[in-house]
Amino acid sequence: MKIKTYGLKKLGIINPTAVYHNLSPTDLIERALIRGEGILSDTGALVVTTGKYTGRSPDDKFIVDTPGIHDYISWGKVNKPISKEKFDLIYGKIISYLQNREIFIFDGIAGADPSCRKKFRIVNELASQNLFIHQLLIRPTEDELSNYGKEDFTIIAAPGFKCNPSTDGVNSEAAIIINYEDKKALICGTQYSGEIKKTVFCVMNFLLPQMNILPMHCSANMDPITGATAVFFGLSGTGKTTLSTDSKRLLIGDDEHGWSDHGIFNFEGGCYAKCINLKEKNEPEIYHAIKFGSLVENVIIDPITRKLDFADKTLTENTRVGYPINFITNARMPGIGRIPNVIIFLTADASGVLPPISRLTQEGAMYHFLTGFTSKLAGTERGITEPQPTFSTCFGEPFMPMNPGVYAEMLGEKIAKYNSKVYLVNTGWFGGPYGIGERIKLKYTRAMINAALNGQLDNVEYRHDDILNVDIPQSCPDIPDELMNPIDTWKDEEAYLTYARKLAKQFNENFSQKYPDIGEHIVNAGPKFEE
């Protein structure tokens, strides 16, 4: 019997033992179980472990340096070049590896707005990873699939193939390589599914600015009555998914969006949420999304009861669950919203210096967008065991291939055009740095964000902080006044000022090193450091 290959031959895969195309979640789960890729929890979720790679591996990510895209890429430690010759070498090895194997294909969509979407073909070695991307991207209808046409980009994920660094020109057995000119990407040596999701994001971040669309590493929600829309920027661990998943608002998406001239739209059709210390009372929407059809990564499971232990970080603190967005009862379908009237920058400041909420000017918004300050939290990347200060351009530097000024200018233009209000929210520490101070309670952060979204911070008294160069509201509904100004929460005022000056210096040094050509009006909107 001749096997239908669904166009795999053009990739070089000419003799698969079987090809499965856009299977249902049920079919994929059945095949994953038969293949021994995971087990079911007591709630019906498929639970897998991903081996030694339990987070993204940024040192193993490369972009193929070709003449057609060379001048568009911001080359450096994040966007590392690899030659087309090395790409072709690794590509050939992966294709050879995939011969005589079962292949899983998902033809999906990135972009809820039909006028802005791109079509992605994902080729998987594992049924569980095909389930993941099936739930994370937008699933085409039967009619859309029958009229799918040619994909805009192909991603091949083969975690079982290991690179040889000495001959392949990479840094380890794992590699994530994007070839923008050939419209292909390779992921090998790592089973962490987030690499597939983020590769889609990297591709969209390259393609959309050419369409005058701002790609954003953010979550988004909207008021179900007024339609007022908000976006939340922040790296993993800052609370982006948790804070945007609010039962009183419609969730547009939890991670990746575009901002066009007629509104915002979700790139995805699913969510990828952290599970560490997950509790029903704190995050009921995410908790109840862990059911049949979702994929759970690296959460310890009781072999007898099949209950998940969300507090157990034996494998990693970066435990994850992927699920379709319609598992959230208040999901906005399709994932399209209006022009955002409020923008929230989330940061987890481990120094305990930044206020729990502050207001930014347009220039201040561009500065902090470019800066993307936070603390890397344990588990989000390999080797991170405690919070580390970091500056991630556009709150998503690992995924932004172009010059950061391109994205910042687009944001500034949109804030000015639509008069969007911008707030910087610290979900990190107060009363002292990590190890001395306390992390701000989730209920307080929610209350401050609700006040910002509802306009309750529009007319309150503000105090300008001369070091941090932000405006701090002096009161907020349901928040003790003494929490609003971080200096008031420290026992030692001089110690606070020392840490504040140190943080301002870090901001200054980072900005001058990374963005020497940015205009003075943006530079002057950042923290002020004086010896």
Give the 3-state secondary structure of residue 281: coil
Identified catalytic residue from 56, 257, 376, 382:
56
Q: Is 390 a catalytic residue?
A: no
Catalytic residue among 320, 332, 368, 376: 320
CA 526 to chain centre: 25
145 three-state secondary structure: helix
Does residue 240 carry a catalytic annotation? Answer: yes
Collapsing DSSP states into helix, strand and coil, what is residue 87? helix
Catalytic residue among 236, 347, 371, 489: 236
Q: What is the largest CA-CA distance in the chain?
A: 79
493 conformational bin, left if phi > 0, alpha if psi -120 to 50, beta if neither: alpha
Instruction: Please give the C-alpha separations between residue 174 and each of 52, 163, 166, 187, 511, in angstroms, as whole numbers.
Output: 11, 6, 13, 8, 32
Strand bridging mode 250-253 / 184-188: unpaired
Catalytic residue among 118, 198, 359, 376: 198
CA distance 22 to 17: 17
Residue 217 annotated to the active site: yes
Q: Are the beta carbons of 391 and 372 closer than 8 angstroms?
A: yes
Of the residues 65, 168, 254, 255, only one is catalytic, namely: 255
Whether 150 is catalytic is no
Active-site annotation holds for 27: no
The question of whether 255 is a catalytic residue gets the answer: yes
List Cα–Cα distances, 397 to 3, 286, 526, in angstroms.
Answer: 42, 26, 19
Please indicate whether residue 236 is annotated as part of the active site.
yes
Check 31, 61, 217, 249 and give the catalytic one. Answer: 217
Q: Which residues contact 253 (CB under 8 A, 6 or more apart)?
A: 112, 219, 220, 266, 267, 268, 271, 325, 335
Residues paired with 441 in a beta bridge? none
Q: Encoding tokens for residue 7?
A: 């166009």
CA 38 to each of CA 41, 50, 160, 299, 302: distance values in angstroms, whole numbers, following the listed order? 10, 10, 15, 12, 13
Cβ neighbours of 2 (radius 10 Å): 4
Question: Which of 119, 240, 376, 421 does the annotation list as catalytic?
Answer: 240
Q: Which of 50, 241, 294, 319 is catalytic?
A: 241
Q: How far apart are the first and last CA of the chain?
A: 78
Give strand pairing partners of 179. 184
Residue 128 contacts residue 45 (beta carbons within 8 Å): no
Residues serving a catalytic function are 56, 198, 217, 236, 240-241, 255, 320
